[in-house]
Structure 1
Amino acid sequence: MLNLQDIKGPYHAIFSLGNNCLPAIELREHGLRKFAGPIDWMGTPVLPQISRMLRNRFEGMLVYSNLLMVDQVNELYNIWDQQYDLYLNHDFYVHNNFPPHLPAYPVIKAKYDRRVARFLQTLESGGRILFIRTDSSCENIQELVDSLKQLCKGPFHVLAVNHEPVKEIEMMDWNIEHVCAVKMPNIDIWISNRFRWTFLFQGMYLI
C-alpha cells in the first residue's frame, strides 16, 4: 500500500483514466497536464473495459459501426462506443451530425488516434507516470494495474480517488502494488473538492 508521500515528486506525465472529466479538469487546473490523454473528456464508467482496452492497445476503439447516439445535451450528442463502453459527450455537435450518420467522425477519430499514439509512446518512454481513476472498486483497480504493467516501461503509480460520505480525505487500505487509494467527500464533487485535490497534488510536478 502506498501513501500520499510515496507518490510525491516528479513525473514525466500524469494521465486521467476516468471515470469522467473530473480528473482531467483538476490536472488542468493544477498545471499538471502537458496534453490531452485518450479518455480525458469521456465518460468511462466500466473500468474493466478500460483495462481491456489498454491490454488491446486501444485496438477497436471508436470504430464507426460501434458508435450509437444515446441522447442529446444542449448542442452536443452523447455518443456511445459499444466496444469499450466509452461515452463521448464533448465531440459530436448537433449542427454537423445527423445520427446515425456522423459526418464529423473522420476528424474526431483522427484526433483520438493522435492522443492514443502519444499516450502509448509516453508509457513506453521509461519515464515516471501517474494515473488517476475515480470511483472504482479494489478488484477493478488491481486489474487496471495488471494491464498497465504490460504497457509501462518505467515506474508508475495509480491514484485511486473514491467519492464517499466522508467529511475529509481518508486513506483506504487496499494493499495493491503501485496504488495509493483515498476517499473524498461525495457532495458537490465538481466544485467543493478543489482544495482537496490541491492537497493530493501537493509535491507533484511535471518534468
Structure 2
Amino acid sequence: MRHWPLFALRLTTPRLELRLPGLDDLDELADRAAEGVHDPAEMPFGVPWTDAPPHERARSTVQVHFRQWGTWSPGDWSCSFVTVWEGRVVGVQEMRGRDFAVTREVATGSWIGLRFQGRGIGTEMRAAVLHLAFAGLGARYATSSAFVDNPRSLAISRRLGYREDGLAVEKRRGQAVLQQRVRLSRDEWTAPDGFEIHGLEPCLPLFGA
C-alpha cells in the first residue's frame, strides 16, 4: 500500500522473518495464542490476557493489531511484527516508541507460542528489532522489563547486553509483584551478522525518525 508502507517493512535474520501481519498471518497468530503461550500457573504479562478462554485469546490477538494500526502516529506508535520460522507464524515481537523524534528510545515486548519455545527464537527476534532500532531508526536506547520470576525473559536481555535499570512494583492477578527494568544503549550494542532491514525508507516518517 502506497499510503501505508509499513506492510512492506521486513526484518530478516539467519533463521527468521519479521513482518507486519496480513490477515492470513493474523489468523495463524491467533491459533498460536489459542494453543497457549505459557504454563497456566505462571503469568508473565502485566495485563493477564492469556487467562481468557482460547477463543477470546485468539480474537483479542487479532484486535490488538487493528487498534495499533488505527491509533498509529509518528509521536506514539506500537509496531508488532509477526515472527515467521520455517514458514510458520510462531509469535509476536513488538517495538514501541513515544515522542521518538525527541527521546530516541524504544521499548520492546514479545511472546511465542508454547510449542515453539526453547529454540532460541526469542533472542533472535528481539535482536532483529534492536537492529531496526539502532541501525535503521537511529535510536539511542532500547528498554524492556520482566517480572523477577520470569528468568527466561531476563536471560534474553542479559544475553543481548542489557543492563539493569531499576525495579518497579506492578499489580498482577491482584497482587503486587516486582518487575525488573532493563536498558541497552546504542554504544553497548553490537550489530549482528546476517540481519537485514527491507523496505524501511518510506516508513521513516511514520516512526518519527
Q: TM-score range by the shorter chain?
A: 0.3 to 0.5
Name the structure where helix makes up a greater proportion of residues: 2
TM-score (norm 2): 0.33
Rg larger for: 1
TM-score (norm 1): 0.33
Name the structure where strand makes up a greater proportion of residues: 2
